[in-house]
Amino acid sequence: MKPYTFRFRTGEIIIDHLKCAKCNSYACIKADSLFGTGVLRIQDAKPTLTTNLEDAQRLCNECMACELYCQSHGNKGLKIKLDQFSS
């Protein structure tokens, strides 16, 4: 299965829905609702965007909480790739 990806101003969020299928916490969604702008939601047991790709790029506040929480409290299915550190 191809990863679910979307851009934000300085990088890209990559979500592996196969890992998310085994997640019980959806920590990324909780983190986005607490620290972010609510661009993520759970749809069909998977994290997806609440808006279209163009608006998500503008609305994401780049707090990185979704990745931090997914990696520490979730199933490690979400990663952030920053343009600055990509070759």
Contacts of the segment 22-28: beta carbons below 8 A, 24+ positions apart = 22/75, 23/74, 23/75, 23/77, 25/73, 25/74, 25/75, 26/74, 27/69, 27/70, 27/72, 27/73, 27/74, 28/66, 28/67, 28/69, 28/70, 28/74, 28/77, 28/78
Asked whether residue 87 is assigned to any structural domain, the reply reads: no
Q: What is the pLDDT of residues 13-65, one digit of tens each?
A: 999 999 999 999 999 999 999 999 999 999 999 999 999 999 999 999 999 99
Total-model pTM: 0.92
Q: What is the CATH number of the domain that holds 29?
A: 3.30.70
Tell me the residue range of the domain where 30 lies: 4-81
Q: Say how many domains are in the chain.
A: 1
Within a domain: 48: yes
In a domain, 86, yes or no: no
